[in-house]
Amino acid sequence: MKKITRGVTDKNILDIFAEDFCRIIEKYTNYFICSGFVSIAHGRSRATEDIDMIIEKIPKETFTMMHKDLVKNNFICMQSDNPEKIYSDYLIQGNSIRYVRKSKGMFPPEMELKFVKDSLDEEQMQERRTFPLTKLNLYFSSIESNIAFKEEYLQSDKDMEDAKHLRIIYEESLDENKINKIKEKIRRLRL
Amino acid sequence: MRDKTHREQVQRWAEYVKENPNEWKTELNQFIDAQFQMAQKFYEELAKTKEGREKIEKLKVMRINKR
């Protein structure tokens, strides 16, 4: 029987969507992915429609170039085609924007993108990292911050299960002190 | 936290499903399959690590207890 080996062709549509998008973003600014997709990339068998991405604040001119690059590579912004409007009406106001692949139905997945908004986001940006077990060439926020946000801020059943899942995966290396410090900061800045 | 753009997305998708009853399922299945393939691939990698199989057992127990 012919042995099946994993390689580049092993990527599925979700891997390709996320990695293609991030390759463009990182030409213009730093980013990290957080929330549900972190758990899904770590084996949580549940569905999500969007991937949450936070990027550093960039000037309008840089955003315009980045947006045009995304459009050139077959992504479309659901809020507007006009980069100046997207920047002024959404990003700079602290709202998110969403990109999908150009297609008839504008199918999910969607990349939900927003600017860093406070020191919590900035710290996550500084500590962003890749996770070799996911086999994805993407930057994520730390496992500790994902657990802290899910347990302290989001708190739905789904989020609590995500946090428990991540706790099991990284049980030997989790820094509880760090989780508690992030939770304290969440209480101070977000609640 | 969910914002206005999320509600718009839900509405947009629901309208597409309504207007394209013969098309949406194939596209959506590919996307959902991809998420489960991602999980499968992760467990294959996790199983190769020192404590991987033990963790996979714990995750199974977690899922069973949820039911």
- Domains defined along chain A, listed by start: 8-189 (3.30.460.40)
Least confident of A6-15, A59-68, B38-47: A6-15
What's the whole-number average pLDDT of chain B? 87
Domain count for chain B, please give it: 1
State whether residue A160 sits within 8 Å of chain B by CB: no
pLDDT at B48: 95
Kindly indicate the confidence band of residue A131, based on its pLDDT and cuts at 50, 70 and 90: very high
Chain A residues near residue B51 by CB distance under 8 angstroms: 171-172
State whether residue A101 sits within 8 Å of chain B by CB: no
pLDDT at A162: 95
pLDDT at B67: 65
pLDDT at A6: 46
pLDDT greater than 60 at residue A157 = yes
pLDDT greater than 60 at residue A94 = yes
Q: How far apart are CA B26 and CA A105, in angstroms?
A: 12
Tokens of A186: 């969440």
Chain A residues near residue B59 by CB distance under 8 angstroms: 43, 165, 168-169
**Average pLDDT in the A78-94 region?**
95
Q: Which among A64, A108, A70, A101 has a CA at the least distance from the CA of A84?
A: A64
DSSP result, A92-116: GGT--EEEEE--SS-PSPEEEEEE-
Kindly indicate the confidence band of residue A97, based on its pLDDT and cuts at 50, 70 and 90: very high
Closest B-chain CA to A13:
B34
Q: How far apart are CA A177 and CA B3, in angstroms?
A: 31
Closest A-chain CA to B38:
A41
Kindly indicate the confidence band of residue B27, based on its pLDDT and cuts at 50, 70 and 90: confident
Phi, psi of A130 (to 5 degrees): -95, 160
pLDDT at A48: 84
Q: How far apart are CA B62 and CA B67, in angstroms?
A: 9
User: Please, are residues A51 and A111 in contact by the beta-carbon 8 Å criterion?
Assistant: yes
In sequence order, which residues have a C-beta less than 8 Å from that of residue A171 and are 6 or more positions away?
B51, B55
Burial class (CB in 10 A: 0-12, 13-18, 19+), A33: buried
**Average pLDDT in the A117-145 region?**
96
Q: How far apart are CA A63 and CA A190, in angstroms?
A: 27
Residue type, B60: K
User: Please, are residues A32 and A125 in contact by the beta-carbon 8 Å criterion?
Assistant: yes
Kindly indicate the confidence band of residue B16, based on its pLDDT and cuts at 50, 70 and 90: confident
Closest A-chain CA to B19:
A105
**Average pLDDT in the B11-26 region?**
86
> Which of A12, A133, A168 minimises the CB distance to B59?
A168
B-contacting residues in A 108-127 (Cβ below 8 Å): 108-110, 112
The percentage of chain A sitting over the pLDDT mark of 70, rounded to a whole number, equals 94
State whether residue A62 sits within 8 Å of chain B by CB: no
pLDDT digits (tens, 9 = 90+) for A19-36: 999 999 999 999 999 999
State whether residue A15 sits within 8 Å of chain B by CB: yes
Kindly indicate the confidence band of residue A64, based on its pLDDT and cuts at 50, 70 and 90: very high
State whether residue A58 sits within 8 Å of chain B by CB: no
Q: How far apart are CA B28 and CA B35, in angstroms?
A: 11
pLDDT greater than 70 at residue A188 = yes
> Which of A12, A50, A164 minimises the CB distance to B62?
A164
What's the whole-number average pLDDT of chain A? 92
Left (φ > 0), alpha (ψ -120 to 50) or beta: where does A33 sit?
Answer: beta
pLDDT at A70: 98
Phi, psi of A34 (to 5 degrees): -140, 180
- H-run or E-run covering A31: strand A31-34
pLDDT at A27: 98
C-alpha dihedral (B24, B27, B31, B33), degrees to nearest 10? 100
Tokens of A10: 């092993």
Chain B residues near residue A98 by CB distance under 8 angstroms: 5, 9
Q: Which among A36, A99, A44 has a CA at the least distance from the CA of A67?
A: A99
Tokens of A125: 């940006």
pLDDT at A4: 46
pTM of the model: 0.89
Residue type, A32: F
Q: How far apart are CA A179 and CA A149, in angstroms?
A: 9
Residues listed for chain B: 67
Contact B31 A109 (CB under 8 A): yes
Query: Which residues constitute the domain of residue B54?
Result: 4-66
Contact B27 A47 (CB under 8 A): no
